[in-house]
């Protein structure tokens, strides 16, 4: 041990003392994790592949150390999955489901670090598995799933650091931060929040340690390939972040961020994380993490961030909530804890149709996007049918035009769908100016040939072609709302300038 942290923990122990922790509640915790994973896998193949997953599959065909809208980790996972199992929705979602189960276990271990025995660990595990954001976030292959997992691990490591005073843990923390940065830049906010919490609590021995600098060096080394990619690509990820902030931030988003936490995390889990926040703030071991949560809550609210960005910060709160209940129910019958677990599980059951594809597709919203409570579910519907509609449009073209056809889409979901399902109809790979598709360029798209454009405004297309004729609109099975439903399909001829000259103006980030 390299030195204790100053302060007292419940029970009169000095933080940093070598104390015996409660036993790990292996059976109930692993059972909760297994139930969550099995539930995720049971519905993994329902509906279809998500628009973002289509994009990741396309990115997997253009492997790089970075992309406009994310670092390389998720496209690399998509590449491995594609090579091993093909474009399977089940296998794309298997690793995120396992990451969810791992977050359950890690959160229970965090509760153990805080002094929680079996009942505390079990309640913390159930809270993770029952939170709507966790159920939804670990369902899809996405940066969100791995981001939440990495935050759970960092919550555990920071708790361990504060409890033991073992400053060499900064190296492990740095390694996890580096891996998290290869997935999503959001973890940088967690680092700022934790440092702010430790400064507030005057954890000088930990913060002045050379091991902290070593951990920072490890994180920088692991994340350096993505940094190098950004240097070579005009800091594209920063430009993307600026675009997203300009599009999504505002007074409404700021005011709505805090109330939205009770929706995305579920009202029932507030019965755990609110006492958990109180428990963390009440002692030196948890206080830096409690302060970090409050700092990030304010920062994200002011910035108008998306409501789920804070999801990973709830794992230490769930751990603290389990310990809080266990301490107050000491000496009482276990029925009290079972009652609270039942409430949390009931809340998850009520929210299940809004978080996972448990209903028939016909049960999804058919109105405007405001009626789509979970737009991610709608974004998995209708992609093979969409490509079939494009193929039908292509079949009506003269033979020469079909052989030299260009398909130009307004968003990466449509382009990814064409790339995945189009070869079965003899369609070429799509081109798009959306996000990383723009960086991949127009490829070998022939000039002065017929182009099917979808999801793009006619006024813009008329700057590229002399003739732009309507060929229909995108429909969806059962009229389910998606971002593509109703998008215009155009047949464009009479190209006025080459794709190479038109491409710089085609870029759009969102």
Q: How far apart are CA 308 and CA 248, in angstroms?
A: 13
- Per residue in 472-495, pLDDT (tens digit) is 999 999 888 888 999 999 999 999
Q: What is the mean pLDDT of residues 63-75?
A: 95
Q: Which residue has the higher pLDDT, 482 or 5?
A: 482
pLDDT value for 6: 40
Count of CB atoms situated within 10 Å of the CB of 469 = 11
Q: How far apart are CA 312 and CA 88, in angstroms?
A: 27
Helix %, strand %, coil % of the chain (to 5):
65, 5, 30
Count of CB atoms situated within 10 Å of the CB of 245 = 12
Order across the sheet with 488-495: list the strands. 431-432, 406-409, 451-454, 488-495, 465-473
With cut-offs at 50, 70 and 90, classify the pLDDT of residue 76: very high
Structure-token pair, residue 446: 């022939």
- Per residue in 441-453, pLDDT (tens digit) is 998 899 988 999 9
Structure-token pair, residue 129: 């598995």
Q: How far apart are CA 340 and CA 317, in angstroms?
A: 16
Over pLDDT 90: what percentage of the chain? 76
Q: What are the residue ranges of helices labelled H in 396-455?
A: 399-403, 412-421, 436-440
pLDDT value for 178: 98
pLDDT value for 4: 39
pLDDT value for 338: 76
Cα distance between the two ends of the chain: 48
Q: What is the mean pLDDT of residues 410-415?
A: 96
* Cβ 432 vs Cβ 438: under 8 Å: yes
Q: What is the mean pLDDT of residues 267-273?
A: 94
pLDDT value for 100: 98
Domain limits of the chain?
8-355, 383-506
Q: How far apart are CA 140 and CA 350, in angstroms?
A: 20
Helix (H) or strand (E) holding 491: strand 488-495
Question: Tokens 């919203």 belong to which residue?
Answer: 365
Q: Which of 244, 261, 10, 53 is nearest to 144 (CA)?
A: 53
Q: How far apart are CA 56 and CA 91, in angstroms?
A: 14
DSSP 222-253: HHHHHHHHHHHTTTHHHHHHHHHHHHH-SHHH
Helix (H) or strand (E) holding 453: strand 451-454
pLDDT value for 324: 94
The alpha carbons of the chain give a radius of gyration, in whole angstroms, of 25
In this predicted structure, the answer to whether residue 193 has a pLDDT above a threshold of 50 is yes
Cβ-based burial of 425 (10 A; exposed 0-12, middle 13-18, buried ≥19) = middle
Global confidence as pTM: 0.92
In this predicted structure, the answer to whether residue 252 has a pLDDT above a threshold of 90 is no
With cut-offs at 50, 70 and 90, classify the pLDDT of residue 248: low
Q: How far apart are CA 445 and CA 499, in angstroms?
A: 7
What is the average pLDDT value for the chain, to the nearest integer? 90
pLDDT value for 341: 83
Q: Which residue has the higher pLDDT, 351 or 215?
A: 215
- 490 three-state secondary structure: strand
Q: Which residue has the higher pLDDT, 15 or 314?
A: 314
In this predicted structure, the answer to whether residue 11 has a pLDDT above a threshold of 50 is no
Long-range contacts, 426-434 (Cβ 8 Å, 24+): 426/391, 426/402, 427/387, 427/390, 427/391, 427/394, 431/406, 431/407, 431/499, 432/408, 433/503, 433/506, 433/507, 433/508, 434/409, 434/410, 434/508, 434/509, 434/510
Cβ-based burial of 472 (10 A; exposed 0-12, middle 13-18, buried ≥19) = middle
Helix (H) or strand (E) holding 431: strand 431-432
Q: Which residue has the higher pLDDT, 181 or 242?
A: 181
In this predicted structure, the answer to whether residue 17 has a pLDDT above a threshold of 80 is no
- Per residue in 337-385, pLDDT (tens digit) is 777 788 888 988 888 888 999 988 877 877 765 444 578 898 999 999 9
């Amino acid at each position: 041990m390299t030195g204790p942290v100053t302060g007292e923990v419940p029970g009169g122990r000095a933080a940093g003392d070598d104390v015996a922790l409660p036993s790990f509640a292996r059976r109930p915790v692993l059972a909760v994790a297994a139930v969550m994973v099995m539930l995720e896998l049971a519905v993994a193949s329902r509906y279809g592949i998500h628009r973002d997953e289509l994009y990741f599959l396309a990115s997997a065909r253009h492997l790089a150390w970075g992309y406009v809208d994310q670092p390389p980790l998720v496209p690399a996972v998509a590449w491995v999955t594609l090579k091993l199992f093909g474009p399977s929705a089940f296998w794309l979602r298997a690793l995120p489901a396992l990451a969810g189960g791992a977050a359950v276990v890690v959160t229970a271990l965090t509760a153990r670090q805080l002094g929680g025995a079996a009942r505390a660990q079990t309640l913390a595990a159930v809270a993770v598995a029952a939170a709507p954001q966790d159920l939804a976030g670990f369902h899809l292959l996405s940066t969100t799933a791995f981001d939440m997992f990495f935050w759970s691990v960092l919550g555990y490591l920071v708790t361990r650091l504060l409890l033991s005073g073992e400053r060499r843990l900064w190296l492990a923390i740095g390694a996890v931060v580096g891996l998290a940065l290869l997935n999503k830049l959001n973890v940088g906010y967690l680092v700022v929040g934790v440092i702010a919490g430790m400064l507030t609590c005057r954890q000088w021995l930990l913060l002045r340690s050379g091991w902290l600098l070593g951990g920072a060096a490890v994180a920088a080394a692991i994340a350096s390939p993505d940094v190098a990619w950004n240097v070579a690509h005009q800091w594209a990820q920063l430009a993307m972040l600026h675009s997203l902030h300009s599009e999504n931030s505002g007074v409404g988003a700021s005011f709505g961020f805090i109330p939205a936490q009770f929706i995305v995390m579920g009202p029932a889990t507030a019965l755990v994380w609110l006492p958990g926040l109180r428990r963390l703030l009440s002692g030196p071991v948890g206080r830096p993490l409690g302060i970090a949560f409050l700092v990030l809550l304010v920062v994200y609210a002011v910035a108008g961030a998306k409501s789920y960005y804070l999801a990973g910060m709830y794992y230490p709160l769930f751990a603290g909530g389990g310990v809080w209940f266990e301490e107050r129910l000491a000496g009482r019958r276990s029925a009290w804890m079972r009652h609270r677990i039942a409430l949390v599980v009931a809340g998850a059951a009520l929210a299940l149709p809004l978080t996972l594809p448990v209903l028939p597709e016909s049960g999804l919203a058919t109105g405007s996007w405001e009626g789509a409570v979970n737009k991610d579910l709608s974004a998995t519907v209708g992609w093979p049918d969409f490509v079939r509609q494009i193929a039908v449009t292509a079949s009506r073209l003269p033979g020469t035009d079909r052989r030299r056809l260009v398909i130009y889409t307004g968003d990466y979901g449509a382009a990814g769908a064409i790339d995945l399902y189009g070869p079965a109809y003899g369609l070429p790979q799509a081109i798009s100016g959306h996000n990383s598709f723009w960086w991949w360029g127009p490829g070998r798209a022939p000039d002065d040939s017929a182009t099917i454009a979808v999801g793009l405004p006619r006024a813009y297309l008329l700057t590229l072609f002399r003739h732009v004729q309507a060929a229909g609109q995108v429909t969806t099975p059962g009229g389910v709302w998606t971002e593509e439903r109703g998008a215009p399909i155009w047949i464009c001829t009479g190209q006025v300038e080459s794709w190479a000259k038109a491409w710089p103006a085609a870029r759009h980030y969102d």
